[in-house]
Structure 1
Amino acid sequence: MGWFGFGFNRKRGSKQLRQQQVASPEKDDPQLRSTALLELSRRLAFGQSQIVDEVSEAMLHEEDYFVRWFCQ
């Protein structure tokens, strides 16, 4: 145990474990990321369906979305 009962080696080990969890192949699945992003946008939109539609449009038609909003 370190100062104040805190084990620094334990903390270092948990950081390595978190890095291994993030690096797992299922976290890099594009379909999983798209689904998660749509669900997050749905929850953050508080019933505003046009926000979810815009996020979906940006994911499905990236170039068109970019041209529409950033190349004016």
Structure 2
Amino acid sequence: MAKLKLGPIEDEKPVKLTIELTASVHRDLLAYARAHAAETGLHAPLPPERLIVPMIAHFMAGDRSFKRRKDPHP
């Protein structure tokens, strides 16, 4: 089975943000949390709010267009 794109999650000081998810996205996030826990050896899945930030960060890090706009002079 292929590895998940999200590896271990670092603990960092959070900034509060409120979002609304569709029910289907929430179900998928819970399923992802279970898979992530199994793959990384956690005893229990992380709560969804702990997964969202690394997922967004990973998404933005992989967006080449965003990287060029963020740092136009590498």
TM-score by length of 1: 0.28
- Greater RCO (CA < 8 Å, at least 6 residues apart): 2
Q: Of Structure 1 and Structure 2, which has the larger fraction of its residues in helix?
A: 1
Computing the radius of gyration over CA atoms, which structure comes out larger, 1 or 2? Answer: 1
TM-score by length of 2: 0.28
